[in-house]
Amino acid sequence: MLRVYGSGFPVRLFVAGMHGDEWRDTSQLLLDVNPPKTGTLAVIPMVDDGKYVSTLDENYYSVSGSPILEAIERLHPEVYLELHSYAKENYARLTDDDRLSKAGVPAYNELKSGLLLGSVSPYIRLGFFSMESLCISFEIQRSNEQSYQFVVELLEVVSECKTRYDFVLYLLENFPKQAIKAIENYRKFYVL
Ligand SMILES: [Zn+2]
């Protein structure tokens, strides 16, 4: 299910349909991303539609998420993006300031329209990417049409990023408060 558009540096890998029925909200969005103007974009629109296993579970990437590890080993992406979806009732838990102590990952931050920006699982971030890589996770709010529309715009932005600084600049220009939070979270991640 790996699709590769373009060629050369930088290499970006976008993944969706990570677990359970999330593919219903996320797979088509990745299939609709345009090829990048420069470099490579690889997408796995549907990683696994089986039982829901959290990406924070240490077995996720070696079992249901194994196509992701295979793609990383083959392509060595500099930009890695996970697209997830969440039900509105989980908003408070995902954006909880104590999420780092409770779940081992920093809290998600809302950019707008229920669209959350967060880190990826420490297992994959620390084990498979360098500090210079951009590794982010977007959570779309289910049944929120504006959330879906906004993520289309964000996916276009990330598909043109050459380094993580391009995304930081986009955030600083458009969502300065969330940019500062994201930078703080990134730093916390590396002192875990
Ligand atoms: Zn998910």
- Contact at 8 Å (CB) between 136 and 119? yes
CA 55, distance to chain mean position in Å, is 11
- Ligand 1 center to 133 CA (angstroms): 21
- Ligand 1 center to 160 CA (angstroms): 24
- Ligand 1 center to 46 CA (angstroms): 12
- Ligand 1 center to 19 CA (angstroms): 6
Q: What CA–CA distances, in Å, run from 103 to 55, 108, 111, 122, 138?
A: 11, 12, 21, 11, 17
Residue 162: pLDDT over 90 = yes
Model pLDDT, residue 105: 87
- d(CA 75, CA 28) in angstroms, rounded, equals 22
Model pLDDT, residue 112: 97
The mean per-residue pLDDT over the stretch 2-25 comes to 97
Residue 191: pLDDT over 70 = no
Q: What is the dihedral angle through the alpha carbons of 48, 52, 53, 54, rounded to the nearest 10 degrees? A: 100
Model pLDDT, residue 115: 98
- d(CA 21, CA 71) in angstroms, rounded, equals 22
- Ligand 1 center to 39 CA (angstroms): 27
The mean per-residue pLDDT over the stretch 38-65 comes to 95
pLDDT tens profile 68-77: 999 999 999 9
pLDDT tens profile 105-138: 899 999 999 999 999 999 999 999 998 999 999 9
Model pLDDT, residue 187: 83
Phi first, then psi, for residue 87 (nearest 5°) are: -85, 145
- Residue of 156, 144, 159 whose CA lies nearest to 112: 144
Model pLDDT, residue 103: 87
The mean per-residue pLDDT over the stretch 127-154 comes to 96
167: left (phi over 0), alpha (psi -120 to 50) or beta: alpha
pTM (predicted TM-score): 0.96
User: Mean pLDDT for the chain?
Assistant: 95
The mean per-residue pLDDT over the stretch 54-63 comes to 94
- d(CA 26, CA 45) in angstroms, rounded, equals 8
- Where are the strands (E) in 129-177, listed by range? 134-141
Q: With pLDDT > 70 as the criterion, what percentage of the chain qualifies?
A: 99
3-state secondary structure of 3: strand
The mean per-residue pLDDT over the stretch 5-23 comes to 97
Model pLDDT, residue 180: 93
